[in-house]
Amino acid sequence: MKSNIKKSFIVSLISLFFIQMIYVYFEPVTVTAASVTDSVVVTLTVDSGITITAPTNVTMTPNIGIATNGSIGSAVWNVKTNRATGYSLAVKASTAPALVSGANSFADYTEAVNGTPDLWSVPSGSKEFGYSAFGTDTPTATWGTSVSCGAAGVPAVAQKYAGFELTDLTIATRNTVTTPAGIDTTICFAAEQDTIYAASGTYTASITATATEL
């Protein structure tokens, strides 16, 4: 009896062994695919550039004479730039005083506080020539809130004026790119004689506008 039990136990072990071997042999094998990675950096350079238009020459109107004391005019400069940090626009005169006719001239506009634009006002007994500016990138706190240069020889009352200098004075600035259409800045010119006559003649001023990448 014991011999039969022992034989049965041994047969069972042997059977179990073969069953395990068969399972191991036929068990699905999970294969993990090998992989590697790599990357590239793509670089594009966009060159910065800036342009400025050349407006037509300005003829101030009306003419000043014995019956007319004031005259105004304007010019528009358009600036385009793709500079990420923007641009500045500055103006200056080639002579001091700026508006001359031979030996005669209009004095450069005198501000109440030197170098600070203010509302147009010419003292009695003086003749002066000055400028103002307006546009999208022109600070109204500095140059006033009008969007025109005035009418009939009279400067716009809300515009502030300054006298031209031989060095650049910034009139407009921005710290981003412009649109492809560019940004217009209008320069207003004004001249007036007050209880004094300017000598007859053709007076001219050469004004330079410079746009600079920031």
133-152 per-position pLDDT tens digit: 999 999 999 999 999 999 99
| Side chain identity at residue 61, one-letter code | T
Is 38 part of any domain?
no
Is 188 part of any domain?
yes
End-to-end CA distance of the chain: 107
Is 28 part of any domain?
no
The range of the structural domain enclosing residue 202 comes to 50-213
Is 6 part of any domain?
no
DSSP β-ladder status, 207-213 and 87-93: antiparallel
Is the pTM of the predicted complex or chain greater than 0.85?
A: no
**Whole-number Å distance between alpha carbons of 150 and 146:** 9
Is 9 part of any domain?
no
Structural domains in the chain (count):
1
**Whole-number Å distance between alpha carbons of 79 and 153:** 28
Is 14 part of any domain?
no
Is 114 part of any domain?
yes
pLDDT in tens, 14-38: 655 555 555 555 555 566 789 999 9
